[in-house]
Copies of this chain bind each other. A is one copy, B any other.
Amino acid sequence: MNVQEDVRKPLDRLAEALAPEMEAVNALIRERMASRHAPRIPEVTAHLIEAGGKRLRPMLTLAAAKLLGYGGPYHVHLAATVEFIHTATLLHDDVVDESRQRRGRPTANLLWDNKSSVLVGDYLFARSFQLMVEPGSMRTLEILSNAAATIAEGEVLQLTAAQDLATNEDIYLQVVRGKTAALFSAATEVGGVIAGVPDAQVRALFDYGDALGIAFQIVDDLLDYGGTAEAIDKNTGDDFRERKLTLPVIKAVARATPEERAFWSRTIEKGDQKDGDLEHALELLARHGAMADARRDALDWAARARASLQILPEHPIRDMLSDLADFVVERIA
């Protein structure tokens, strides 16, 4: 990120550059999350949507469309579609993970119940499909419905793969593409498709979203083990406690001695954890260079994201997207 030119975060600069479009997206979201008959729906949805998420995914759609000179109204529908799919996924994820907190607030499954989260999530999925039909573009429909299937497939794969020491980096990447990158890449790709640009540029947008999403998730997984900081804070180790195999552990397992493998098997596969286990896990991650290697992977994906942008036209928004790729990995740089 070129801090001499603009010290603000790339997400804030994007939000400013896309302010009128983003306002239209928010208005459309508010309109479509309503329900004539079931007041429980807007209650649950508002709790999550108005909790101040960053709206990163819809912003990617708006950015791609604007950067490529789209002049019509439908990038707003596509961006709102993307946010609805994301919100539906969060509601169901929190049920599946039995989460109690999201965006610093109690989860919907805690405030209402699992039933409401499941059914309101279904409602938002259905609303997202209604929204994506409106632009009348078969190609964006294919991209977004494929993304929805990839997301659900990744989530199911994670159910079985997360606690299995046989999970390797290929399977991890599959899960990450499903749970995170598929929606990032669909968000950027549909922005290009709706702008009617050549296939090579659409492909570049897909590649950018895909690489950005993967970098984003690896960083998330690294930060869960404290990132590059040595200190352990209270949030360190959530994935360990929830027995989720992520990239750092997958790397450490691949390099484990038989005794270390027994440790991972006990703590992750069998879920038998005691005091001091997290500290020992962190030590193993450091000893095998697993954190450093996962960090290098994240930086690699961020570099690929930036490189994908090169065939796109010069534009301030292109620079912001490039800086965004750096920003995503900045927390572990």
Binding site for B on A (CB under 8 A): 35-41, 92, 95-96, 114-116, 118-123, 125-127, 129-130, 133, 136, 138, 141-142, 145-146, 148-149, 151-157, 159-160, 174, 178
Contact = CB atoms under 8 A, between A and B. Distances in A.
A119 B148 contact: no
Contact of A38 (B39, B92, B156): B156
A126 B41 CA distance: 21
Contact of A133 (B37, B92, B145): B145
Nearest to A139: B133
Contacts of A96: 114-115, 118-119
A145 B123 contact: no
Given A123-B149, A146-B130, A153-B123, A160 B118 contact: no
Contacts of A155: 119, 122
A244 to B, nearest CB: 13
A140 to B, nearest CB: 10
Contacts of A40: 156-157, 159-160
B95 A159 contact: no
B120 A149 contact: no
Contacts of A37: 153-154, 157, 174, 178
B38 A122 contact: no
B95 A152 contact: no
| Majority secondary structure, A binding face | helix
B116 A114 contact: no
Nearest to A137: B138
Contacts of A95: 114-115, 118
Contact of A126 (B121, B123, B145): B145
Contacts of A92: 118-119, 122
28 contacts: A35-B156, A37-B153, A37-B174, A38-B153, A38-B156, A40-B157, A41-B153, A92-B118, A95-B118, A96-B114, A96-B118, A114-B114, A115-B159, A118-B118, A119-B152, A119-B156, A120-B156, A122-B155, A123-B152, A123-B153, A125-B126, A126-B152, A129-B145, A130-B145, A130-B146, A133-B138, A136-B138, A141-B141
A160 B112 CA distance: 11
Given A38-B154, A40-B160, 13 more contacts: A36-B153, A37-B178, A38-B156, A39-B160, A40-B157, A96-B114, A96-B115, A116-B156, A116-B159, A119-B156, A119-B159, A120-B156, A133-B138
A148 B136 contact: no
Nearest to A129: B145
Contact of A142 (B36, B119, B133, B154): B133
A243 B157 CA distance: 36
A133 B132 CA distance: 11
Contacts of A115: 95-96, 159
Contacts of A120: 152, 156
B116 A152 contact: no
For the complex of A and B, 4 pairs with smallest distance between CB atoms: A126-B148, A123-B152, A126-B149, A122-B152
